Chain A
Amino acid sequence: MDVYTIGLAGGMLLIILGIYGLTVKGNMIRLILSVEILTNGAIVVLVTFGATPLGVINPVIISLAILAVGVGGCIAAVGLAIVIQAFRHYKTLNVRELKRLRW
């Protein structure tokens, strides 16, 4: 197996894991984690593609990956802040209780 296959398989695995978490898990923290896993899966795919076709690592792709990691951090921060507020209002972390808004 070459790097290409391993990278792609790993990335896709992470993406599937993320999607699984988002559609099944009810805990809000786990949902934030799932989003992060999903993003990281995409980053892995990106880095894999960035590494192989040219034989050398493309600086643009690496900076894009670093940017994406940073963005993931921001999303997690904002998300957790909202989770704290939600916990104050709903006294639960179960997202299935957050269903006052329908339609």
Chain B
Amino acid sequence: MFTLVVDVLIFFAIAVAVVGALTRYRANLNTAFGLASTIGFGLALYFWWNLYLEVQRAGGVLVLKALPVLASSSLRIDMLGMFFSLLFLLVGFTSSFHSMRYMEHDSGHAQYYALLLSMVAGMVGVVYAGDFFTLFFFWELMAITSYVLVAFRKHLWEPVEAGFKYLVMSAAGSALILLAIALLYGITGTTDLAGIASAIKAGTINAELKTWLYFAIAVIVTGFGIKASIVPLHTWLPDAHPAAPTPISAMLSGVVIKTGVYAIIRMLGLVIYPAALDWNMVAVVVAFFAALTMTVGNVMALLQEDVKRLLACSSIAHIGYIMLGVSIGLLGGTIGLYGYTAGLLHTMNHAIMKGLAFLAVGAFIHAAGTRKLSELVGIGHRMRAMAVIFVIAILALSGVPPMNGFVSELMLVLATLNAGMGIMVAVLLANILIGFGYYLRLLYIMVWQSPRSELETIRGTSWLMLIPCGILASLCILIGVYPEPFLDFASQAAQAVANLPAYTAIA
């Protein structure tokens, strides 16, 4: 229906939910549901690969809905969508794998896995959507499932408080997205992304239309920016991400916020980009917000006492780095291509390394039963294998070669220089330095110091947690040492961003 990738996820979500309902949620079927969900993700990855070959060959895939009334509702799959969907599926796969052990003491497993699968289905749908109707549908599928997942442990006060704040802020964002859709429809008379872009390209831009388009850009950046947590729209993130169960935190911090980035790239870079606006100015404005985002994110992370909250704050900072790449992309031409490539490569790297960091921390939290740094002192000594993985993740996040974070941060710096934004380079480097401070603090407390006596009983890590973390950790090193194919993929996706003729030609 929506390509096999999405369908298989939805099928498994429904299947898990139905089986859960049939067993009346009594039996503790965590491992069975987790296995089913992981297999679902595995299958989706396989179908992704088939789809990738198809997209590679034909330049894109168009899937039209069957209902005649909604004929314009469609999926339009290009390289950019393939790029993002791979990240979603990869982190979804590892999180689901990890949950098999992490969620063993919780209840409501059927709901948990069904929601996780639906959330990923929604995210993949968002990046495949070729039409605002489809996009909005999948966007809300992702958003509503994520509200429930954040507040999943409803017997605790924290997820409830965080879930409520997240819900209200994010729902306000959804309303703004709807408003943006209305504005764009009012300007062009269609909801098809390619159609809007073509109409904007064909029409002439008078002063009134210009005002409306700038207003539309502001609404789009705010609406999607809430999900991407651009400062000052970020206040929900440090609450919601730590409050969720840790595999979900890995999803939220690793990939869910990237859907917001995707939407901003797609809207500004493709849909409105043909309009004769002052894009250099827009780029500078976005870069300004990117600088604000990375600085505030890093400063917030500095003194956190909660390990998950610290990682969540660092996600804000990394969104700032990615948005910097996007803002350079808006400059267009070769410079812009460079910026998109750097931003997308950092998106990929951040998804992998932040997902990994959360999953590794999840293993520690699962063993120690606490998230406070002061109570996790020296836990690395008790769980050696996981400690090695955690060190890899943190080194990658802090941008130390030969890990993947270094490659993309270097690319970002080069792209920024290439675009002639000297001040932004200084901001970026200063931020990388600040970031280094708290990543090291994390390493120092959790891996370096001698373990607390309360942690004496912990012995080793479950294979169910080591395998998914190992997959991501090896990717961290692989991308760092041999970035060529990944960079090539990112650059293909970047080339798809502003390539309107190719996007329109997808059939």
Report which of B148, B160, B175, B189 forms a contact with A42, defined as CB distance below 8 A. Answer: B175
Q: Which residues of chain B are near A43, meaning CB under 8 Å? A: 178
CB distance from A26 to the nearest CB of B (A): 12
Interface residues on B, range: 35 or more
CA A79 – CA B160 in complex, angstroms? 10
Q: Which residues of chain B are near A85, meaning CB under 8 Å? A: 151, 154, 160
Establish whether residues A75 and B178, one from each chain, have CB atoms under 8 Å apart when the complex forms: no
Identity of the chain A residue whose Cβ is nearest the Cβ of B132 in the assembled complex = A64
Q: Is A16 an interface residue (CB 8 A)?
A: no
Identity of the chain A residue whose Cβ is nearest the Cβ of B131 in the assembled complex = A60
Which secondary structure dominates where chain A touches chain B? helix
Q: Is B214 an interface residue (CB 8 A)?
A: no
Q: Is A39 an interface residue (CB 8 A)?
A: yes
Q: Which residues of chain A are near B186, meaning CB under 8 Å? A: 45, 48-49, 53
Q: Is B69 an interface residue (CB 8 A)?
A: yes
Interface 1/0 per residue, B352-383 and A, CB below 8 Å: 00000000000000000000000000000000
Residues in B137-184 with C-beta less than 8 Å from chain A: 137, 140, 144, 147-148, 151, 154, 157-158, 160-165, 167-168, 171-172, 174-176, 178-179, 181-183
Establish whether residues B178 and A98, one from each chain, have CB atoms under 8 Å apart when the complex forms: no
Q: Is B70 an interface residue (CB 8 A)?
A: yes
Q: Is B295 an interface residue (CB 8 A)?
A: no
Interface 1/0 per residue, B114-139 and A, CB below 8 Å: 00000000000000000011001100
Residues in B438-485 with C-beta less than 8 Å from chain A: none
Identity of the chain A residue whose Cβ is nearest the Cβ of B145 in the assembled complex = A78
Q: Is A83 an interface residue (CB 8 A)?
A: yes
Query: Known: A31-B168, A64-B181, A74-B144. Is A59-B175 also a contact (CB below 8 A)?
Result: no
Q: Which residues of chain B are near A32, meaning CB under 8 Å? A: 168
CA A102 – CA B313 in complex, angstroms? 12
Report which of B158, B181, B189 forms a contact with A100, defined as CB distance below 8 A. Answer: B158
Report which of B70, B158, B164 forms a contact with A82, defined as CB distance below 8 A. Answer: B164
Q: Which residues of chain A are near B144, meaning CB under 8 Å? A: 71, 74-75, 78
Establish whether residues A100 and B161, one from each chain, have CB atoms under 8 Å apart when the complex forms: yes
CB distance from B15 to the nearest CB of A (A): 22
CA A50 – CA B178 in complex, angstroms? 13
Establish whether residues B172 and A38, one from each chain, have CB atoms under 8 Å apart when the complex forms: yes
Establish whether residues B164 and A42, one from each chain, have CB atoms under 8 Å apart when the complex forms: no
Query: Known: A78-B148, A83-B164. Is A39-B133 also a contact (CB below 8 A)?
Result: no
CA A43 – CA B182 in complex, angstroms? 8
Establish whether residues B189 and A35, one from each chain, have CB atoms under 8 Å apart when the complex forms: no
Q: Which residues of chain A are near B178, meaning CB under 8 Å? A: 39, 42-43, 46, 68
CA A89 – CA B162 in complex, angstroms? 13
Q: Which residues of chain B are near A101, meaning CB under 8 Å? A: 158, 161-162, 165, 238-239, 243
CA A52 – CA B375 in complex, angstroms? 62
CA A52 – CA B118 in complex, angstroms? 36
Q: Is A61 an interface residue (CB 8 A)?
A: yes
Establish whether residues B167 and A63, one from each chain, have CB atoms under 8 Å apart when the complex forms: no
CB distance from A41 to the nearest CB of B (A): 7
Report which of A78, A89, A100 forms a contact with B167, defined as CB distance below 8 A. Answer: A78
CB distance from A80 to the nearest CB of B (A): 10
Q: Is A22 an interface residue (CB 8 A)?
A: yes
CB distance from B457 to the nearest CB of A (A): 30
Establish whether residues B164 and A28, one from each chain, have CB atoms under 8 Å apart when the complex forms: yes
Q: Is B76 an interface residue (CB 8 A)?
A: no
Identity of the chain A residue whose Cβ is nearest the Cβ of B242 in the assembled complex = A101
Q: Is A20 an interface residue (CB 8 A)?
A: no
CA A85 – CA B163 in complex, angstroms? 10
CB distance from A77 to the nearest CB of B (A): 9
Establish whether residues A98 and B174, one from each chain, have CB atoms under 8 Å apart when the complex forms: no
Q: Is B185 an interface residue (CB 8 A)?
A: yes
Query: Known: A22-B172, A86-B160. Is A60-B73 also a contact (CB below 8 A)?
Result: yes
Establish whether residues B132 and A42, one from each chain, have CB atoms under 8 Å apart when the complex forms: no
Identity of the chain B residue whose Cβ is nearest the Cβ of A78 in the assembled complex = B147
CA A89 – CA B160 in complex, angstroms? 8
Establish whether residues A59 and B168, one from each chain, have CB atoms under 8 Å apart when the complex forms: no
Q: Which residues of chain B are near A49, meaning CB under 8 Å? A: 182-183, 185-186
CA A101 – CA B308 in complex, angstroms? 13
Q: Which residues of chain B are near A83, meaning CB under 8 Å? A: 164
Q: Which residues of chain B are near A45, meaning CB under 8 Å? A: 179, 182-183, 186
Q: Is B491 an interface residue (CB 8 A)?
A: no
CA A67 – CA B174 in complex, angstroms? 12
Establish whether residues A46 and B151, one from each chain, have CB atoms under 8 Å apart when the complex forms: no
Q: Is B107 an interface residue (CB 8 A)?
A: no
Establish whether residues A35 and B160, one from each chain, have CB atoms under 8 Å apart when the complex forms: no
Q: Is B191 an interface residue (CB 8 A)?
A: yes
Identity of the chain B residue whose Cβ is nearest the Cβ of A63 in the assembled complex = B70
A-B contact pairs, 17 of them (CB 8 A): A42-B182, A49-B182, A49-B183, A49-B185, A60-B72, A60-B133, A61-B191, A63-B70, A68-B178, A75-B144, A78-B147, A79-B164, A82-B147, A82-B163, A85-B151, A100-B161, A103-B300
Known: A15-B175, A39-B175, A82-B160. 15 other contacts (CB 8 A): A15-B179, A42-B175, A49-B186, A60-B72, A63-B70, A67-B137, A68-B178, A71-B136, A71-B174, A75-B171, A78-B148, A79-B167, A82-B163, A103-B304, A103-B313
Task: Enumerate the 9 nearest inter-chain pairs by beta-carbon distance, A residue then B residue, closest first.
Answer: A49-B186, A46-B182, A42-B178, A42-B179, A89-B157, A38-B175, A39-B175, A45-B182, A71-B140
